[in-house]
């Protein structure tokens, strides 16, 4: 998306919002996270994809995944960020930071010559700390999950094209967990983003991100994508799935890191203080919470033959346990053989 002028920029923001809302041209369906328009209604509202067989999120477990030694640590080549701007928006479903077409290339080491360009990051969270993340890790749901949405710049010229293309997107998922001993810097990463939730773009806060949705956005200084990723970028899961919001398009290569980023409770509370669109009947402000979809089956039973593989970059504890058990197994075989020989000798005797 080559954006330079104000008109083009406006068009790009509209395109972005349409894509993120799943409300494509001529599509009158609106969705949300309530009973009638929430995740359980999406398969009916968005028939083409939301009831598909490669849906996201899923439950991530070591036991159900396959170790792939070719999955190496991620490398990121970034430009100089000084003087550049990102834009933070509340789209009514979630809060997101648009990277404003920054030319950052991520090379996923397994695909060395491939090219992925981060487009935006958004989050999903709950109204209490026991729920909120979309993916589950070893049976656990985290209070917050960030999604860095990237597009494949080998085959596509823009996010808008890639978002509609086959295998056009890749998303990095990051869990957050609460640790009140952590102090976030207001000048870096998630700490800086949160500090912009209630920062006025002009003089009043009428259009602050925490008060207003579908606002034009608030500028914030650009920063390294690495600030939104955990320290350990070598341990992660990979699988092929979908967007977790309508239209649930199945064109996403998912990478979800195992190590959560730690944030204090006060930072989590800032997310819960964001506003969703007002209640249409009462006109009352509603807190933006529980904007997550529950886990979908990795391998749906129907249609028959729907099989997906969940890969992991790290050796498993199960593997380690088996390695420890292996000599015991050999001993068992040896003991069984000795018993057999003894039995034969007894028979002959």
Catalytically annotated residues? 93
In the complex, what is the shortest distance from the CB of residue 163 to Zn ion, in angstroms, rounded to a whole number? 13
In the complex, what is the shortest distance from the CB of residue 321 to Zn ion, in angstroms, rounded to a whole number? 34
Q: Which is nearer to Zn ion, 201 or 296 (CB)?
A: 296
Q: Which is nearer to Zn ion, 201 or 247 (CB)?
A: 247
- Binders of Zn ion in range 265-324 (CB under 5 A): none
By beta-carbon distance, which residue lies closest to Zn ion? 147
**In the stretch 232-271, what mask flags binding to Zn ion with x, by CB under 5 A?**
------------x---------------------------
In the complex, what is the shortest distance from the CB of residue 103 to Zn ion, in angstroms, rounded to a whole number? 23
SS (H, E, C) the chain: CCCCCHHHHHHHHHHHHHHHHCCCCCCCCCCCCCCCCCCCCHHHHCHHHHCCCCCCCCEECCCCCEECCCCCCCEEECCCCCCCEEEEEECCCCEEEECCCCCCEEECHHHCCCCEEEEEEEEEECCCCCCCCCCEECCEECCEEEEEEEEECCCCCCHHHHHHCCCCEEEEEEEEEECCCCCCCCCCHHHHHHHCCCCCCCCCCCCCCCCCCCCCCEEEECCCHHHHCCCCCCCEEEEEECCCCCCCCCCEEEEEECCCEEECHHHHHHHHCCEECCCCCCCCCEECCCCCCCCCCCCCCCCCCCCCCCEECCCCHHHHHHHHHHHHHHHHHHHHHHHHHHHHHHHHC
**In the stretch 35-74, what mask flags binding to Zn ion with x, by CB under 5 A?**
----------------------------------------
Q: Which is nearer to Zn ion, 91 or 161 (CB)?
A: 91
In the complex, what is the shortest distance from the CB of residue 303 to Zn ion, in angstroms, rounded to a whole number? 26
Residues in the interface with Zn ion (CB under 5 A) total 2
- Binders of Zn ion in range 69-98 (CB under 5 A): none
Q: Which is nearer to Zn ion, 147 or 312 (CB)?
A: 147
Q: What angle do CA 312, 233, 97 make, to 5 degrees?
A: 110
In the complex, what is the shortest distance from the CB of residue 316 to Zn ion, in angstroms, rounded to a whole number? 27
Q: Which is nearer to Zn ion, 223 or 254 (CB)?
A: 254
Among 147, 211, 249, 312, binds Zn ion (CB under 5 A): 147
Among 64-72, 101-109, 140-148, 156-164, which window interacts with Zn ion (CB under 5 A)? Answer: 140-148
Q: Which is nearer to Zn ion, 62 or 141 (CB)?
A: 141
Among 14-22, 34-42, 48-56, 146-154, which window interacts with Zn ion (CB under 5 A)? Answer: 146-154
How many CB atoms lie under 10 A from the CB of residue 9? 15
- Residues at the site binding Zn ion, with contacts judged by CB under 5 A: 147, 244
């Amino acid at each position: 998306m080559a954006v330079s002028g104000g008109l083009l920029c406006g068009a790009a923001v509209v395109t972005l919002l349409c894509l993120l809302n799943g409300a494509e041209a001529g599509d009158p369906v609106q969705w949300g996270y309530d009973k009638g328009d929430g995740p359980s209604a999406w398969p009916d509202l968005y028939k083409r994809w939301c009831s598909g067989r490669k849906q996201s999120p899923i439950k991530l477990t070591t036991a159900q995944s396959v170790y792939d030694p070719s999955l190496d640590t991620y490398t990121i080549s970034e430009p100089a960020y000084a003087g550049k701007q990102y834009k933070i928006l509340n789209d009514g479903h979630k809060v997101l930071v648009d990277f404003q077409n920054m030319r950052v290339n991520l090379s996923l080491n397994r695909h060395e010559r491939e090219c992925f360009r981060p487009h935006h990051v958004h989050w999903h969270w709950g109204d209490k700390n026991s729920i909120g993340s979309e993916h589950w890790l070893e049976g656990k749901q985290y209070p917050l999950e960030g999604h860095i949405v990237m597009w494949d710049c080998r085959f596509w010229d823009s996010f808008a094209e890639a978002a509609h293309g086959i295998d056009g997107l890749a998303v990095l998922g990051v869990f957050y967990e609460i640790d009140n001993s952590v102090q976030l810097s207001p000048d870096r990463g998630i700490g800086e983003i949160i500090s912009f939730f209630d920062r006025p773009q002009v003089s009043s806060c009428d259009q602050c991100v925490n008060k207003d949705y579908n606002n034009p956005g608030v500028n914030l200084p650009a920063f390294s994508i690495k600030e939104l990723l955990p320290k350990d970028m070598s341990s992660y899961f990979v699988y092929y799935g979908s967007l977790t919001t309508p239209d649930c398009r199945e064109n996403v290569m998912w990478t979800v890191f195992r190590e959560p980023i730690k944030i204090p409770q006060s930072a989590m509370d800032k997310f819960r203080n964001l506003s969703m669109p007002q209640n249409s009947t009462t006109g009352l402000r509603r807190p933006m919470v529980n904007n997550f979809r529950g886990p979908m089956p990795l391998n749906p039973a129907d249609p028959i033959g729907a099989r997906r593989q969940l890969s992991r970059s790290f050796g498993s504890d199960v593997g380690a346990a088996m390695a420890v058990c292996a000599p015991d197994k050999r001993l068992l075989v040896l003991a069984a053989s000795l018993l057999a020989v003894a039995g034969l000798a007894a028979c002959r005797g």
